[in-house]
């Protein structure tokens, strides 16, 4: 019994292998080819090539864009969506005339054609990377600052691909990433981060007054923000002392005035006047109450 059961299992395995081999020959699913990566600059043209060996009359071609949801690019011998107006077919490949950043992603071409073994299906995958030049960066430069304080200037671009690097300019002259190599007329206490776009003065001085602008640059292009002036002034110690002296004099004069009024008895006269007025009001009320009581008794 055990030998029979083993023979049955072997026969079932052989049948499964025969069916699997026959299915592969009938439909001819090919292994995926080498993954292609195509790079294009925005607003220029690019060709997404489908590396299929032969094109026949009976071949059927489909292009799809992969992602969270699969969308057709070429289906039933026609381009789909907005590719109708800005793309064309070259055999099995697609020529996009005006690439945009939204075109970036992974594409797959699928070609099916009859063969001697049956229906043959092959596919090829292409990744499209779109390079985008930076836009005019957003620059944050304070209008004024006090000498000796920490001041940070910021520059940022959100559109460039690859991510741009940043360079700060003072009065039209680029600042060195190493402040010690800069000119003598520049404060050497700053730190410039070319990746994040920040320019920080650890102890800003009057030498740092000037017009600042920032440039974002990548392999595609570069843009610069308009210059903004930053004025650095020393702390006016004499002005602060003068203000404190004036406030102290005002407080002293007010205190002397209160003391003088108390000595002259202005506050006591007012108090006695209030007491006499309240006493007269009480006397009037008592007289009215007496008259009311007397009339009631009568």
pLDDT at 19: 35
Interior angle at CA 157, CA 151 and CA 161, nearest 5 = 140
pLDDT at 144: 94
Select from 183, 181, 187, 215 the least CA-distant residue to 201: 187
Residues in contact with 203: Cβ distance below 8 Å, sequence separation at least 6, in sequence order: 148, 149, 150, 187, 189
Cα–Cα dist 265/261, whole Å = 6
Cα–Cα dist 68/180, whole Å = 51
Considering the domain delimited by 138-233, tell me its CATH architecture.
Sandwich (2.60)
Overall fold of domain 34-131: Immunoglobulin-like (2.60.40)
Cα–Cα dist 280/207, whole Å = 77
Sign of CA dihedral 261, 263, 267, 269: negative
Cα–Cα dist 62/88, whole Å = 14
Number of H helices, E strands in the chain: 4, 18
Quickly list H helices, 28-152. 83-86
DSSP 176: P
User: How many other C-beta atoms are found inside a 10 Å radius of the C-beta of residue 166?
Assistant: 23
Report residue 94: phi and psi, to 5°: -115, 130
Shared fold status for 34-131 and 138-233: yes
- Mean pLDDT, consecutive 10-residue stretches, the chain (298 aa), reads 55 45 39 76 95 71 92 94 93 94 95 76 92 97 94 96 96 87 65 95 92 97 97 71 61 67 61 49 47 42
Interior angle at CA 12, CA 8 and CA 13, nearest 5 = 120
Chain CA centroid to CA 224, Å: 18
Quickly list H helices, 28-166. 83-86
Select from 227, 42, 40, 216 the least CA-distant residue to 135: 216
Domain limits of the chain?
34-131, 138-233
pTM for this model (two decimals): 0.64
């Amino acid at each position: 019994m055990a030998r029979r059961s083993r023979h049955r299992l072997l026969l079932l395995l052989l049948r499964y292998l025969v069916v699997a081999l026959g299915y592969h020959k009938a439909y001819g699913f090919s292994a995926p080819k080498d993954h292609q990566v195509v790079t294009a600059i925005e607003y220029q043209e690019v060709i997404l090539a489908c590396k299929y060996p032969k094109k026949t009359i009976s071949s059927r071609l489909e292009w799809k864009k992969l992602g969270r949801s699969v969308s057709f690019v070429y289906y039933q011998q026609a381009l789909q969506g907005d590719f109708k107006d800005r793309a064309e077919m070259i055999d099995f490949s697609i020529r996009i005339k005006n690439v945009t950043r939204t075109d970036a992603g992974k594409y797959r071409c699928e070609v099916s054609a009859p063969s001697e073994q049956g229906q043959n299906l092959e596919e090829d995958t292409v990744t499209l990377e779109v390079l985008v030049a930076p836009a005019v960066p957003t620059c944050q430069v304070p209008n004024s600052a006090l000498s000796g304080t920490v001041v940070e200037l910021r520059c940022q671009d959100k559109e460039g691909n690859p991510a741009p690097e940043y360079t700060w300019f003072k009065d039209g002259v680029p600042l060195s990433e190493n402040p010690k190599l800069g000119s003598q007329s520049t404060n050497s206490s700053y730190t410039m981060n070319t990746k994040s776009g920040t320019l920080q003065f650890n102890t800003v001085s009057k030498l740092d007054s000037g017009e600042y602008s920032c440039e974002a640059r990548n392999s595609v292009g570069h843009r610069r923000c308009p210059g903004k002036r930053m004025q650095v002034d020393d702390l006016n110690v004499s002005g602060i002392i003068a203000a404190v002296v004036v406030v102290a004099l005002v407080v002293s004069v007010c205190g002397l005035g209160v003391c003088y009024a108390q000595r002259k008895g202005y506050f006591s006269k007012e108090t006695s006047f209030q007491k006499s007025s309240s006493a007269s009001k009480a006397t009037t009320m008592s007289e009215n109450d007496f008259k009311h009581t007397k009339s009631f008794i009568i």
